[in-house]
Amino acid sequence: DTGVSQDPRHKITKRGQNVTFRCDPISEHNRLYWYRQTLGQGPEFLTYFQNEAQLEKSRLLSDRFSAERPKGSFSTLEIQRTEQGDSAMYLCASSETGTTTYEQYFGPGTRLTVT
């Protein structure tokens, strides 16, 4: 396995458009996390899945954001009616369950620029 992958790596969109990002976790990992990172800040938790179930969403995740993991493998994060404040790096991470450390493996991120 080559690790967590994300697509696209970069996305430029105009305000008001919808965008969708994809994350492919490490194959044996059943937990998948989405984070958002803005310049000069650490990643902030958005949501996570255990298998196909979305178990928690941050207050940062407004109604314009939706995430899915339909078959418990890859995940998508959609942002509707994008705003300039959505410009950020969107990071995906995956981990195993059944461990005490919850070590997470991160993808390279998708950088979103809203013009």
Partner 1 sequence: GDSVTQMEGPVTLSEEAFLTINCTYTATGYPSLFWYVQYPGEGLQLLLKATKADDKGSNKGFEATYRKETTSFHLEKGSVQVSDSAVYFCALSIANTNAGKSTFGDGTTLTVKP
Chain contacts with partner 1 (rule: CB under 8 A)? 4, 31, 33, 35, 40-45, 48, 50, 55-56, 91, 93, 95, 100-109
Closer residue to partner 1 (CB): 12 or 15: 12
Minimum CB separation from partner 1 for residue 100, in Å? Answer: 5
Instruction: Tell me the one-letter amino acid at 114.
Output: V
Closer residue to partner 1 (CB): 50 or 80: 50
Closer residue to partner 1 (CB): 67 or 91: 91
Q: Residue 91 CA to chain centroid, in angstroms?
A: 5
Cα separation, 98 vs 7, whole angstroms: 28
Do 55 and 66 touch, CB atoms closer than 8 A? Answer: no
